[in-house]
Structure 1
Amino acid sequence: MKRIRDLPDLDRPREKLAKRGAESLSEKELIAAIIGRGTRGRDVLLVASDISRFLKTENCSPSYDDLVEIEGVGAAKACQIIACFELARRFIDSDPRGHRIASPTDVLSLVTDLVDRRQEHFVCITLNGAGEVITRRTVTVGLLNQSLVHPREVFADAITDRAASVVLVHNHPSGNLEPSQQDIAITRQLSEAGSILGIRVLDHLIVSRKGYVSLKEIGHL
């Protein structure tokens, strides 16, 4: 195996990534780009090759203790690799596309961030005809009222998405899950507007750290 110092500049992992994009790198080269350097007597490409072999064998996210057992991987390199896995996991898990919605609990995993918000966020999740998520959008931030949460603001993007239905969600920073009269009025207004447009409002959830309430389940849809 060639040492990284023996490679032309454009074939070195980080330079190659910058010029040709991450997709042009092998798994070994991607790992080398992450850890940056090897150790005395062990070139970065050799260390990266061992890490790649370990990851393929284990076929799961690595642990810190497992990584530091690999020769040439110390605390810093192990932390870099674990951080990369965790960052990728969070971005993949946060992508709602294709997530199937069949009940209110299916929605909760898409809006976990709302429960810690200090302001009310009104979110619209658009769905295709199979009940799968197209995307999630924040419509308004702040106190809800009918002038802010207007049908045109909610349904403009849903029409662009060619959505068959939507699920509405907003949080109560106070923790109180009781829907206000304003919440109920907005829900009914949006449901009526959706019926005219042919985009059904499946549910409107109120969420907080204490749990959730489905306005459909309590008879307001």
Structure 2
Amino acid sequence: MSLKNTAEIDRPREKLIANGPQSLTLAELIAAIIGRGTAKNDALKIGRTIADILMKHTYATSIQDVAAVDGMGPAKACQILAALELARRFPPPDRKNAKIRCAEDILPFVSQYRYDQQENVIAATLSGAHEILNIRVVTRGLVNQSQIHPREVFADAVTDRAAAVILVHNHPSGNLTPSARDILMTRAIQESGNILGIKLLDHLIIGPCDGFLSVLGSFGDDTHANQDLM
């Protein structure tokens, strides 16, 4: 059934207003974002095609993947990619103010970065009770490296009045072994945090594979991802 023949209450935007965004299917959410399609390809048909693309590529979806769909183009593709990026910058509502008991507990909040083709450094700021205050991408780098300075990590941590920080970054290659640069960067951030009174609890490496690696644990620090942080 095309969108023009769909009952008014069932159209994506009207349905969203009446029942909330949670009532929409993935295709309907996409149709609500793009607004309208073309005479040959209405918004719901486009939504179903893009939904298939997103299910296949998730956060690795590119502008080109979406813009190539009949009835889209660069402008509408930007709307979809912007909505996708906006969603991943916010933790799920049921995990808001979640308490981190061990560094591994942070993984559900950053799992979307496992499959990114560039390195990202993500900082989670925590309260004195180790509740999540914010999770931010601090830097986005190249395919095999992402340079970071302690000031970039602690600028937001100071603003959040954080007591602690957990760093996470991804290795697109899937090899979780920390590089010499990773270890030097971790030591510098750890030392800076000690001066500021904001403890670096751990630095985890993730990738397009199961598991993770603790950089602090790899050089024998007493804070390890598998240890209780409370």
Give the TM-score normalised by structure 1.
0.58
Write the letter of the residue equivalent to 1:215.
V
Matches within 5 A, 1:30-179: 33-34=14-15, 94=92, 97-143=96-142, 144=145, 148-179=147-178
For residue 217 of structure 1, what is the amino acid of its counterpart? Answer: G
Aligned equivalents of 1:155, 1:32: Cα separation in 2: 41
CA deviations over 1:111-130 (Å, ceiling 9, x no partner):
11111100100111100011
Deviation at 1:216, TM superposition (A): 2.9
Partner Cα distance (1:159, 1:127) in 2: 11
Q: Note if 1:201 corresponds to 2:200.
A: yes
Q: For 1:141 and 1:214, how far apart are their aligned partners in 2?
A: 20
The aligned counterpart of 1:20 is: none
- Aligned with 2:169: secondary structure? strand
When the two structures are aligned, how many residues end up with a matched partner? 154
Which runs of 5 or more residues in structure 2 are unaligned?
A: 1-7, 26-43, 52-82, 222-230
Q: Could you list the runs of 5+ residues in structure 1 that have no partner in the other structure?
A: 1-13, 15-27, 37-47, 53-60, 64-75
Measure, in 2, the Cα distance between the counterparts of 1:158 and 1:220: 25
User: Is residue 15–residue 24 contact of structure 2 (8 Å, CA) maintained in 1?
Assistant: no
User: Residues 154-176 of structure 1, C-alpha deviation per residue, up to 9 Å, x if partnerless?
Assistant: 10110000000000000000000
* TM-score, normalised by the number of residues in structure 2: 0.56
Percent identity between the two aligned chains: 43
- What is the CA–CA distance in structure 2 between the aligned matches of 1:169 and 1:62, rounded to whole Å? 33
> Would the aligned equivalents of 2:16 and 2:24 in 1 still touch at CA under 8 Å?
no
Q: What RMSD over aligned residues (CA atoms) do the two structures have, in Å?
A: 3.8
Partner Cα distance (1:161, 1:103) in 2: 21
Deviations 1:65-124 (A, max 9, x none): xxxxxxxxxxx8xx9xxx9xxx9xx77853563021111321110111111100100111
